[in-house]
Every structure is written in C-alpha cells, then in structure tokens.
Amino acid sequence: MQLTDIERHDTDILILGSGGAGLFAALHAQQSADAGTKITLAVKGLIGKCGCTRMVQGGYNVALGGGDTVERHFMDTIEGGKWLPDQDMAWRLCEQAVVRIRELENEIGCFFDRNADGTLHQKAFAGQTADRTVHKGDLTGIEIINRLMEKVLASGVEKMQEHRAIGLIPTADGSALAGVLMIDMRTGKFRLVRAKAVLMATGGGPTMYKYHTPSGDKTMDGLAMALRAGLPLRDMEMVQFHPTGLLAGEHTRMTGTVLEEGLRGAGGQLINHSGQRFMFDYDDKGERATRDVVSRGIYAEMRKNNNPENEGVFISMSHLGPDSVRQKFKGMVKRCADSGFDLAGDKVEVVPTAHYFMGGVIVDVNTRTALEGLYVAGEDAGGAHGSNRLGGNGVANSTVYGGIAGDTMAADIRSIKSLREPDNAILEEELARAIHPLSRKPQLVLPLRKQLQELMWDDVGVIRTKSGMQQGLAGIKNVSDTLMEIGVDDSNLAFNLTWHDWLNLRSLCDISEVVTKAGLARENSRGAHHRSDFPDSGQMQDSEFTVARLEGDKVTVNREPVQFTLVRPGETLLPADAPDTLVATV
C-alpha cells in the first residue's frame, strides 16, 4: 500500500470523538466560527452511541448555592487530587461548570431531577463536602449525550462516522499539525484529513485491565497517537479504579461495569465475606471516602479472602428499603437484575474496576497543546484531576473543556489562511504501522489482550511495588513483541474487526508501558497510585507530577514541580481570594 492509495479530505476544524467533549466542541465551534467555516466530527463508532460520556451514571458536579460555593468545589477537587492538579485548570472546571449546567438545561434541553421547590436536586458523592451532584436518576450520561446528539445531528457539522484516527501528521518542519490519518472502517480505506485545527477528544479507556468499565473499543488511541507525535504526557501512573464494579463472572461483559457511587453516597454498605462492614477500618469516612481509598480497602479485603470462588466483596442496599432503592436507582437495579442479582433486596458482589484516566496530554486552560493546531479536551487531557478524580467531575470536565475548545479553535483559525502540508515521511510511517499485520499469518488477538489484562491487574493495579511493575514491564514487552508477529486476514478490510483488535492492542501496549514507567518513577503514594513499598505520600508542598515522553523509541519519565498558582497546602481558597475568572481572551 502506497501514499497514493490514501484518499484526501479537507476541513477547517476536525474534532475526534463524540463524547461530551467532542459534541460540545462541535456546537461551540459552529456558534463561534466565521460563516463558511467547515467543521467535521469524526468518530470511531456512531455519534451518540459510543464513548464513555454515554455511560455516565452518577451525575455532574456543580456548585449551585445552598451553602456550596465554587471555591468549596475547587478545594474538594484539589484535596481529592492530593495537591497534584493543575490549579488553573481545576478552578476553571469548577467555575465554568455553573455556566455549563445552565447551558445543558436551557440550550441543549437536558432534563435533570428536581426538588419539590423546582431547584435542581443534588446528591452526595464521595470525597465532597457538599451535595453538589446534579443528575437524571442514575442514567445522567444518556440524558446529556442524547440531547447533544440531537443538536449535532441537526446542525451543519460534517459527520465522519466509523472513522478511526490512527496518526497525527505534522508539517515537515514539525512546527504544527497538518492533519490526521484515518481508516474508514466501513471500507478499510485510508483517508488523510487536513485541518487548520484538530481537537483530540477520543477519551481514555483503561481497558488494559482485567476489570474495566469502558467498552472494549476504548483503547487509549488518542494518547498513543500523542505519544508518537512527541507530546508530553503528565500523571500517566494515575489510573482510577472505581470501587464497585459488578462481578458477574468471566462469561459476561457486564463484569467490571460500574455500580454508581451514589449507592454509597445514599448509605450503601460494603460487606466482606465474613459478613462484616469493613470500610471504617480503612478510613473514618467509611464508604464515602474517595474512590482510591475505597478501592484499596476492597482490594485489601480481597487479599484476605482465601476462597477463589468469592473474589470480590459485597455492596448491600436492602437496609435502606428495597422499594426506595428501586425508585432512586432504577438503572442500577435493572443492571444487576439483567445479570441475575437483586440489588434492592440482597447483596451484590463487586470488585475495583479500571474506570478513568487522570493522566493525559499537557494542555493550557484553553485546551492548546505544545503542537500548534492540536487541542485536547476531556479524558485525553491531563492536569485537572491530579492523582484522583472526584465522582461527578468527569462529565463536567468534558463538557466544560469541550465548549472551551470549540470557542478557542474558532478564534484561532481566523488568522490561518490556508491548510498545512503534511510530512510525507511521518505519513508513510503511520501507514506502515497500521498495515503491519496485513502481511503476516493470521492468528487470534484476543488471547494476547487477555494476557495483557491479567498482568496489568496483577502487577500494575490497585496496589503496586517496584518488583511487580518491573515484572509488568517485561510482560508488556512480551505481549507487544508477540503482537508484532501476529497477522490478520487482509482479504477484506471492510469492517475487519480483527485488524482493529490488533490496532487496539497495540495502543494498549504502548500506553501500558507508559503507565508502568511513570509508576516506577513515582516513589510515593498519591491518590490512585499506591505503592506498598513507598506508602508515604510525601510532603504536599513538594508535590511533583510525572512527565512522560517518547524519545526515539524509548519512553522517558521526568518529574516537574506542581505550581500552586491559587492556593498552597495548608491553605484554603476563600471567595475573597479567588480569581474573578480564568477565562482567557482567545
């Protein structure tokens, strides 16, 4: 296959991904851009039917009064992230969430649950000092994505569905991004899409773990592309495990899917196999401690249990009244019922499950990256959450920064008169990378993916050690080397899912290596990263974040000091001290 086989397509603004960040960016770009600006939305699956935002259950964090403030939300975010967040990003997230929730209601048309007096109902989520999580029952993400999807499908935005991004293609001098190499999954043909501005909003998806919440097609593709493009990635050791993933057996994909945090916020109890409630042995907040603390508590109880037939622990809701549970948590009750469990009247077995990725591309508060023309929002962007994301901050982060990205790109391209020419050498490298398995003897990819998932769970999981992570690195290399010898049937590339399984696993291997090396570089325990050989958290005032880069063919990890731009450890940001705004002029 040659460069001449690659089809060409031009646009002004290209958005990769159709989760909360991508859809909001498309709508904001359309509103802010000059007349005649061409906006293209490309997605690996179908618009509104894939991605992680749709899977959000719990809700959307926003300070709407009643004793709550933006400053209080900000402090919860900083303290929950163990003083590693980029404070300017965290502030803007908390401040703009107030704007965005009104936009979701009044302009997008979302209906959220309300109190009897008509105000938005806000429920309790772990690690927060106020009940600030706006929701639509326990199916909030579906409400948000359905309404956004309706707006985007009715707009003039160009849609490129079932198009997989496989490479960021810079200009010949490397100073800017020229476009993105994609595969049209419907035909198997390659397409180079040139654009003046590209938003990467492909989401995270730590599906390299045995237990995980995202769908299997979420495979860290965006971060793998960014790594190869030379961009710095921060906090890559920070993989959030949601404490309560459904444990339904290896025969079903329902295993690992989340039983939402609102269950514990409402009073749900975690019970071990001895019938004892155990979380107060690990934290004085019990089940309402932050996700990292509860996950480690569950994992510790699992290690105490010697019965291999009972791997997890149990969540119990029946003491709250079965009828009340069925009314408040309809989605969760149905999810459990579909797998043969009665959440309202009995206990359900759960296990920590890889859920969210705090690490990502280093960006500024306007989503710009170090590569001109490339913007990143949502789970692909690092910084806002530090070492631990508060439940309810994820969808807020995506929609807030998706909107910011759309506005910023629309403003930035006004000074760009023409599209940039791609570096054909890089284009050829990315093409060769994608077609690598087409010239080899076909073999199954799934066993290798399961091997990676087992070793990441065992060696680079909830609790880590130097020896374990070194063993993990060796295992990742073995999987990666074996993958390079595996081929796929190239007789028909249209909807060739085995080919895409191969590409998925290569992205997962690349990012698994980065996660592990960043974990080895952090010799303390912060938030989601816990090392039993370095259990101390270190001094908060000396906080550093990890920065990973690809130099040649080697991943290197360095550390940089956190900039306490708004508040220092031991201090509290009060309204009188808070910035009026961090909304920059774009």
Q: Which residues are catalytic?
A: 242, 264
Contact 290/390 with Cβ under 8 angstroms?
A: yes
**Residue of 325, 367, 330, 328 lying closest to 346 (CA atoms):** 325
Which residues have CB under 8 Å from 576's CB, separation 6+? Answer: none
**Residue of 176, 182, 198, 217 lying closest to 45 (CA atoms):** 217
Which residues have CB under 8 Å from 321's CB, separation 6+? Answer: none
Residue 212 is given by DSSP the state: B
Determine how β-strand 313-316 pairs with β-strand 269-271.
antiparallel
Residue 34 is given by DSSP the state: P
Q: CA dihedral in degrees (504, 477, 432, 418; nearest 10)?
A: 70
Instruction: Please provide the distance, in angstroms rounded to a whole number, between the alpha carbons at the two ends of the chain.
Output: 42
Which residues have CB under 8 Å from 33's CB, separation 6+? Answer: 12, 13, 39, 410, 413
| 308: helix, strand or coil | coil
Contact 293/286 with Cβ under 8 angstroms?
A: no
Residue type, 238: M
**Residue of 369, 371, 379, 375 lying closest to 235 (CA atoms):** 379
| Angstrom distances, CA of residue 457 to CA of 142, 169, 509 | 29, 33, 14
**Residue of 145, 157, 187 lying closest to 33 (CA atoms):** 157
Helix axes 497-521, 221-228, angle to 10 degrees: 70
Task: Write the burial class of residue 255 (CB in 10 Å: 0-12 exposed, 13-18 middle, 19+ buried).
Answer: buried
